[in-house]
């Protein structure tokens, strides 16, 4: 891939999130419905959501929500403790996310690796990554957020006067 900047259409970021990490053993079904119901009942927007299954079948679920107060954290932990079969539950404050949108990303093999390489080269290892054919999302410790954004702005160029948040497309 050449050194010219890659065109992207939009970047959306959230600097202060609380990460909810729930892990499940491989031998049980994971009751994600019950978990999402807890967030739905509290009307908490899910800024980041990803789940992955290890080679051994263990599942890890990441949910990023707007930074929670101590009171809400306690209440959420109580509600999530009731979810069966869980192996691990952790709420981690001060994480950040960035999401990049480009409908042409699917025609650019290597873009996932390029960004990961740039982050790793600066000592930034995302907590989680989610990539599709039109978007890339990363979750970072908040202390690495500013540097991560600098790296993204070094790789990608955005339309002049671009907006960081517009909900006018279903294809983001």
Residue 52 binds other proteins (CB under 8 A): yes
Cα–Cα distance, 33 to 172 (Å, whole number):
24
Shortest spacing between CB 100 and other proteins, in angstroms: 10
Q: How many CB atoms lie within 10 A of CB 12?
A: 17
Q: Which of 125/153 has CB closer to other proteins?
A: 125
Question: Residue 85: in which H helix or E strand, if any?
Answer: none
- By CB under 8 A, the count of residues binding other proteins is 62
Residue 71 binds other proteins (CB under 8 A): no
From candidates 8, 20, 127, 148, binder to other proteins by CB under 8 A: 127
Residue 102 binds other proteins (CB under 8 A): no
Burial (0-12, 13-18, 19+ Cβ within 10 Å), 137: buried
Residue 12 binds other proteins (CB under 8 A): yes
From candidates 2, 27, 45, 70, binder to other proteins by CB under 8 A: 45
Cα–Cα distance, 44 to 4 (Å, whole number):
39
Cα–Cα distance, 93 to 106 (Å, whole number):
33
Cα–Cα distance, 95 to 113 (Å, whole number):
22
Q: Which residues bind other proteins (CB under 8 A)?
A: 1, 12, 21, 23, 29, 31-33, 36-37, 39-40, 42-55, 58, 60-62, 88, 90, 99, 101, 106-107, 109-114, 116-117, 120, 125-135, 137, 167, 169-172
């Amino acid at each position: 891939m050449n050194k010219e900047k890659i065109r992207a259409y939009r970047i959306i970021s959230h600097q202060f999130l609380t990460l909810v990490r729930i892990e499940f053993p491989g031998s049980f079904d994971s009751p994600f419905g019950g978990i999402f119901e807890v967030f739905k009942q509290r009307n908490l927007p899910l800024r980041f959501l990803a789940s992955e299954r290890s080679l051994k079948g263990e599942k890890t679920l990441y949910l990023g929500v707007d930074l929670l107060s101590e009171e809400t954290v306690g209440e959420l932990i109580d509600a999530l403790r009731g979810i069966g079969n869980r192996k691990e539950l952790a709420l981690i404050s001060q994480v950040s996310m960035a999401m990049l949108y480009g409908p042409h990303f699917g025609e650019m093999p290597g873009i996932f690796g390029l960004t990961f390489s740039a982050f790793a080269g600066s000592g930034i290892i995302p907590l989680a990554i989610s990539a599709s054919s039109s978007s890339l999302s990363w979750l970072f410790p908040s202390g690495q957020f500013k540097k991560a954004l600098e790296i993204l702005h070094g790789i990608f160029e955005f339309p002049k006067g671009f907006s960081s948040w517009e909900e006018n497309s279903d294809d983001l």
